[in-house]
Chain A
Amino acid sequence: MTEKPILEVTNLQTQFRTDDGTIRAVDGVSFTLHEREILGLVGESGAGKSVAIKSILGLIEEPGQIVAGEITYKGETIYAVEQDEDGIPRPTAESYTDAQIRKRIRGNEIAIILQDPMESLNPVYTIGSQIQDVIELNRDLRGAAAKSDAIEMLREVGIPDPETNFHEYPHEFSGGQRQRIMIAMALACEPSVIIADEPTTALDVTVEGQILDLVNDLKDKYDTSFIWVTHDMSVVAELCDRVNVMYLGKIVESAPVRELFYDTKHPYTQALLASIPRPDRKQDELQSIAGLMPSARDPPQGCRFHTRCPGAKKICQEVQPPLQALTESDRGENKNTNHTVSCLQYDSFKTEYENSEYIQNEANPDGTPHIQSQAQAQTQNVSSPAERTSTHIDTSSPILQLNEVRKEFNTSSGLFGPLSVSLSGGIPQIEWSPEVLTAVDGVSMNVYPGETLGLVGESGCGKSTLAKTIVRLLEPTDGSVMFDGESLSDLSGEPLRQKRRDIQMVFQDPHSSLDPRMTIGKIIEEPMKVNKLYDADTRRERAFDLLEKVGLNPSQYNRYPHEFSGGQRQRVNLARALSVDPKLVVCDEPVSALDVSVQAQVLSIMRDLQEEFNLTYLFISHDLSVIRQISDRVAVMYLGRIVEIGKTADVFADPKHPYTRGLLSSIPIPDPDTVKERENMVGDVPSPLNPPSGCHFNPRCTAFIPPDQYSGHPNWDETLAFVRAVGRRAFVADDPVSIHESFFANGLPDDALGTVISDTIDQLVAGEWDAAHDLLTDEFISPSVCTQSVSEYEAGDSDRVVLCHRYADDFEQAP
């Protein structure tokens, strides 16, 4: 990182004019991006981050308009706004036109990586041709030259076997790989600036870690600056050099990353940081920001944060604080860095602020200041499970018992879908071979009354299918679900309906889980109504009561869901689930779609309700930090199987299964000083259509058990790395010496292992990848116990079960 500015944005204002008023999405934002810098742009949803970057790229469309500001790129003004004689903002004469921005800036100078890798690649073109197109458009390369460049780019971002994959279509890649392809596409024209709009939000943590590592490597290699838009403080901590915190269209604090985390000045940033669940934070310190972000259509006067700020005083309602550098006296240890903040506490209004009076707002409902003990003032605490574990949970009789539950989906579509006709060799062979996807592959576990069992796993591991099977949205293919001592599969008709009432579900998406055409009162009453419980008046009273219990106002009974924010809708979801007094509530990612500050609120309510109604939760999430906050016990799921289950504290302190260890090590930690040691899991989650034999995790496992004859072999680790690299075709095989050097730097041993490796290297050089891979697999992978069978072992105390041969009784070298 140098101090040479590359992109400067000054007083950018972007507004959307609508019939219902002007939305000031970006309202006077200024920042500077320096060469080789990664600049973070953080804020909750609705803060205006995306609009700000779209403005830079000239992607704002009607009715949006940049009404003021100047954007300078490499010293040249690419966009500036002036008012004409009628006071209407127009771009100045030296501004680039749309066509100029398109031709000179977008792609070849400033490239963009978007959030959703599933939507940002065109499904009807091969990935190679899409990258090649970008290169041909923006650089003086055509045809074969552009193609070879594209292949090189794909290799650079870690796409295996780029020559072949060049011709593949986007759907054949996983989300992580597609995001790598997007990065390749962005880098293909060697732009000076890459804008990344939440590029890792849609990815699993393990994949996110891989992408962050990749970006860190590439940034230095290509001399690229990044603007990294995200809501995730952990990503910021890990990646960014400098951070801008946005709130309601304005930057409220801008500082180098260490200073932002350790010398936080703005109350909003403080609150934001305090709301993040993190592994090193005591669980009862998790806090949420009071209230909701106001609408950008009608932002509060004065300081925009004053409605939720614990230190808000009268003057904050009147004076809008400018973003300005901290004075000497306000600073911590670092006196020389450029730390700007927009808060009257650190402003030239400092004396006025001190003399002003505290006001009532959402953080200080009584108007008394709690500025000293912010932690208590602005938050409801989420009580930690540790302090209540033993008292509530009765482990003698499980409320829910899963016994070898399997769920298979027939994925061949249509009447004749499962028919496959083979035309090779004379008479056509017609086979009936339905393609079966095993989403849940024999899950057995118990849930005890009063506990919260966290079920964690990456996307596609089958956790949602399991949840749907438990609540009977899906019928299990095999196995039994016992609830309260009765098997649900044996029941039907009215008794089944009665039992089902005791199992309710909270859904993931707050926007699609409430019928948009029903008032929330009706939504909450629906389960009671369809179960013919209570009369109309009682139902109404109960709905009022439940609204209050989940922290909503009963006067909102007649409102429609669209009038509520995501967090409030999830409360309605909870109220609906509780309306029929269930015993077990299955929560499928209930807070994943919410901002962190809101997550904390919802989790806290869930805890309170659990105690009040004596509920049992099965809490499903991909977010380990959330699981850790709320669960008493945790079950880790991988490709349809539970690989580890145990008390939350135990599992997090001492993960046993290699997958759990990999998963835990990839939890992003919102602390720039934490040195991350990722146990990198190679590759992506395999397809559940054709899962690996034996232990499903074996192709990614770092603790893969060697076949007996290689047990304890000194070259085993190198060999395993080599086998997997061959499987992914991750290197160019034209020179045997370089292969030897890169994989077996200390030379090959003079035994069976050495011979096999030498043979395969010869095959590789001859271009016979498949043959080489088969040879290696037969020798090193197939004979291993990991690919042949899988079984459960109790590890440590009795309630810890691990699905890994390393914990077999007769296995000596447990790591």
Chain B
Amino acid sequence: MGSRTVDDAIDQLGDAESRPATVEEKNGGLLYILKEIHKDTSATIGLYIILFVTAVAVFTSVDYYLLDYAFAERFLYHPERDPTGGQRLLPPVGMESIYGPGVIEHPLGTDHRGRDILTRMIYGTRIAITAGFAATTIGLVGGTIIGAVSGYYGGRVDDVLQRFTEALYAIPFLVLIIAFMTAFGRDVTFAMVGVGIVSIPVFNRLIRSRVVSVREEEYIAAAKVAGAKDHQIILYHIIPNSFSPVLVQATLQIGVSILIIAGLSFLGFGAQPPTPSWGQMLAESRDFMLPAPMYSVWPGIAILITVIAFNLFGDGLQDALDPRTEN
């Protein structure tokens, strides 16, 4: 919040000359951004949750790909395999249900095949976070390139590219992703690509609107006079100077992508059983809503906290990058 007051002061001082002396500009690098975020409590909480969840995702991926769930089996349970003689649908510890009392070995209870819910929730992080980041990266890269090129050149190029992305907008995104997956396969990878493609227009619009104003800046003309080629100008000048709103949008979009992927899994188009994923856990728990209500609550909480964390961080990032956006 602090830098906002500096900017307000500068607005009133009205002298551009006094600006360099008084303001540490917003583009002062990563360290400066982190410092700004640190002043914002909710954004800091968001950041810590994201860091935690991401660390869990990285760790579980390592366990899955390299160790073949050796760690999970040693310290927890196997997240995919049905346990032999395991009790089904146990409630969390300290609760009772028709399936019996909760036991300390399964603190969050067990699912309909007797697998430990806590373990599956932890290992479900992998799909959620990978999907969120991968889908957003696809959208970010695609949208930024299309938006920057279209905004920089204008005219025909702009018309064609914008109509193309508007066409993407025109189709309901779930229908588009499901059609895409029906064509290419029901794998979670295609779900990520599909979600990535539908988020292209979001980034495209955002960056294009910035590029249109950045391209009129004199340093673009200066680069042209210096002899820079178009792709150099777009890469070195246009994109870096239009990027901060995109970065904010990307953070928020990760949350949205996680939700969409979870939704797809719920509909059966995401990660396929027995791979643990939050959405799929929700889908499976649906049939046991009455006898074991807590079964569906846990993955819901996981999704909720992760998405909220990304949103909090995104809001904080927005303030840090552009202190004037509020009010």
Interface bits A490-516 vs B (CB < 8 Å: 1, else 0): 000000010011011101110111111
B222 touches A576 (CB 8 A): yes
Q: 3 closest pairs, A vs B, by CB?
A: A19-B2, A527-B226, A295-B21
Task: Say which one of A5-13, A44-52, A257-265, A689-697 lies at the interface with B.
Answer: A44-52
Instruction: Please provide the chain B residues from 1 to 32 with a CB less than 8 Å away from any CB of chain A in the complex.
Output: 2-3, 5-6, 8-9, 12-25, 27-28
The 6 listed contacts between A and B (C-beta, < 8 Å) are A505-B221, A511-B16, A512-B218, A515-B219, A530-B227, A565-B17
The number of chain A residues with a CB under 8 A from chain B is: 58
Q: Does A16 contact B (CB under 8 A)?
A: yes
Most chain-A CB neighbours within 10 Å: which of B8, B18, B25, B229? Answer: B18
* Distance of A682 Cα from B59 Cα, bound (Å): 79
Residues of chain B within 8 A (CB-CB) of A471 are 225
Q: Does A566 contact B (CB under 8 A)?
A: yes
Q: Does B237 contact A (CB under 8 A)?
A: yes
A-side interface mostly: loop
Q: Does B224 contact A (CB under 8 A)?
A: yes
* Distance of A505 Cα from B16 Cα, bound (Å): 23
B6 touches A19 (CB 8 A): yes
A63 touches B9 (CB 8 A): yes
* Distance of A17 Cα from B5 Cα, bound (Å): 8
* Distance of A516 Cα from B19 Cα, bound (Å): 13
B223 touches A516 (CB 8 A): no
Contact of A517 among B6, B16, B27, B229 (CB under 8 A): B27
Contact of A297 among B21, B226, B236 (CB under 8 A): B21
* Distance of A473 Cα from B221 Cα, bound (Å): 7
Q: How far is the CB of A617 from chain B (nearest CB, A)?
A: 15
Q: Does A23 contact B (CB under 8 A)?
A: yes
B218 touches A46 (CB 8 A): no
A51 touches B13 (CB 8 A): yes
* Distance of A515 Cα from B241 Cα, bound (Å): 8
Residues of chain A within 8 A (CB-CB) of B96 are none
B18 touches A46 (CB 8 A): yes
Q: Does B41 contact A (CB under 8 A)?
A: no
Contact of A18 among B2, B15, B228 (CB under 8 A): B2
Given known A565-B20, A566-B17, contact A497–B12 (CB-CB < 8 A): no
A562 touches B17 (CB 8 A): no
Interface bits A22-54 vs B (CB < 8 Å: 1, else 0): 010100000000000000000011100011001
* Distance of A50 Cα from B2 Cα, bound (Å): 23
* Distance of A563 Cα from B22 Cα, bound (Å): 9
A509 touches B226 (CB 8 A): no
Q: How far is the CB of A154 from chain B (nearest CB, A)?
A: 29
Q: How far is the CB of A225 from chain B (nearest CB, A)?
A: 23
Most chain-B CB neighbours within 10 Å: which of A18, A294, A563, A576? Answer: A18
Residues of chain B within 8 A (CB-CB) of A512 are 217-219
* Distance of A64 Cα from B7 Cα, bound (Å): 11
Q: Does B232 contact A (CB under 8 A)?
A: yes
A50 touches B22 (CB 8 A): no
Residues of chain A within 8 A (CB-CB) of B225 are 471-473, 500, 503-505
Residues of chain B within 8 A (CB-CB) of A16 are 5, 9, 12-13
Q: Does B240 contact A (CB under 8 A)?
A: yes
* Distance of A366 Cα from B27 Cα, bound (Å): 38
Residues of chain A within 8 A (CB-CB) of B237 are 515
Interface bits A447-471 vs B (CB < 8 Å: 1, else 0): 0000000000000000000001001
* Distance of A516 Cα from B5 Cα, bound (Å): 21
Q: Does A431 contact B (CB under 8 A)?
A: no
A513 touches B24 (CB 8 A): no
**19 more A-B contacts (CB under 8 A) besides A20-B23, A51-B13?**
A18-B5, A20-B6, A23-B22, A46-B15, A46-B17, A62-B5, A63-B9, A295-B18, A295-B22, A472-B225, A500-B225, A500-B227, A504-B226, A505-B221, A517-B241, A526-B226, A530-B228, A564-B20, A565-B17
* Distance of A776 Cα from B270 Cα, bound (Å): 83
B20 touches A23 (CB 8 A): no
Q: Does A286 contact B (CB under 8 A)?
A: no
Residues of chain B within 8 A (CB-CB) of A564 are 20
Residues of chain A within 8 A (CB-CB) of B17 are 44-46, 293, 565-566, 595
A531 touches B227 (CB 8 A): yes
A514 touches B15 (CB 8 A): no
* Distance of A54 Cα from B25 Cα, bound (Å): 25
B219 touches A23 (CB 8 A): no
The interface of chain B, by Cβ under 8 A from chain A, is: 2-3, 5-6, 8-9, 12-25, 27-28, 217-219, 221-229, 232, 236-237, 240-241
* Distance of A25 Cα from B17 Cα, bound (Å): 13
* Distance of A56 Cα from B222 Cα, bound (Å): 42
Q: Which residue of B lies closest to A533 (CB)?
A: B227
B219 touches A513 (CB 8 A): yes
Residues of chain A within 8 A (CB-CB) of B12 are 16, 50-51, 54, 60-61, 64
* Distance of A25 Cα from B16 Cα, bound (Å): 14
A64 touches B18 (CB 8 A): no
Contact of B22 among A297, A509, A513 (CB under 8 A): A297
Q: Which residue of B lies closest to A48 (CB)?
A: B13
Residues of chain B within 8 A (CB-CB) of A507 are 218, 221-222
* Distance of A505 Cα from B218 Cα, bound (Å): 11
A18 touches B227 (CB 8 A): no
Q: Which residue of A lies closest to B19 (CB)?
A: A562
Q: Does A560 contact B (CB under 8 A)?
A: yes
Residues of chain B within 8 A (CB-CB) of A726 are none
* Distance of A62 Cα from B232 Cα, bound (Å): 42
Given known A18-B9, A45-B17, A566-B17, contact A530–B218 (CB-CB < 8 A): no
Q: How far is the CB of A779 from chain B (nearest CB, A)?
A: 47
B218 touches A19 (CB 8 A): no
Most chain-B CB neighbours within 10 Å: which of A504, A509, A511? Answer: A511
Most chain-A CB neighbours within 10 Å: which of B19, B21, B241? Answer: B21
Q: Does A296 contact B (CB under 8 A)?
A: yes
Given known A61-B8, A295-B21, A530-B228, contact A45–B222 (CB-CB < 8 A): no
A562 touches B23 (CB 8 A): yes
A50 touches B15 (CB 8 A): yes
Q: Does A757 contact B (CB under 8 A)?
A: no
Q: How far is the CB of A485 from chain B (nearest CB, A)?
A: 20
Q: Which residue of B lies closest to A505 (CB)?
A: B225
Q: How far is the CB of A276 from chain B (nearest CB, A)?
A: 18
Q: Which residue of A lies closest to B18 (CB)?
A: A46
* Distance of A530 Cα from B229 Cα, bound (Å): 8
Residues of chain B within 8 A (CB-CB) of A18 are 2, 5-6, 9, 22
Residues of chain A within 8 A (CB-CB) of B226 are 504, 526-527, 530-531, 576, 580
Q: How far is the CB of A501 from chain B (nearest CB, A)?
A: 6
Given known A20-B24, A23-B22, contact A513–B218 (CB-CB < 8 A): yes
A526 touches B223 (CB 8 A): yes
* Distance of A203 Cα from B15 Cα, bound (Å): 18
Residues of chain A within 8 A (CB-CB) of B232 are 530
Residues of chain B within 8 A (CB-CB) of A509 are 218
Q: How far is the CB of A210 from chain B (nearest CB, A)?
A: 26
Residues of chain B within 8 A (CB-CB) of A576 are 222, 226
Q: Which residue of B lies closest to A586 (CB)?
A: B225
* Distance of A111 Cα from B226 Cα, bound (Å): 48
A517 touches B240 (CB 8 A): yes
Contact of A50 among B14, B21, B228, B236 (CB under 8 A): B14
Given known A497-B227, A517-B240, A562-B19, contact A508–B218 (CB-CB < 8 A): yes
Residues of chain B within 8 A (CB-CB) of A60 are 12
Residues of chain B within 8 A (CB-CB) of A515 are 219, 223, 236-237, 240-241
* Distance of A503 Cα from B8 Cα, bound (Å): 41
Contact of B228 among A44, A468, A526 (CB under 8 A): A526
* Distance of A46 Cα from B14 Cα, bound (Å): 8
Residues of chain B within 8 A (CB-CB) of A530 are 223, 226-229, 232
Q: How far is the CB of A434 from chain B (nearest CB, A)?
A: 16
Contact of B8 among A25, A63, A293 (CB under 8 A): A63
Residues of chain B within 8 A (CB-CB) of A497 are 227
* Distance of A25 Cα from B12 Cα, bound (Å): 10
Residues of chain A within 8 A (CB-CB) of B5 are 16-19, 62-63
Interface bits A513-534 vs B (CB < 8 Å: 1, else 0): 1111110000000110011000
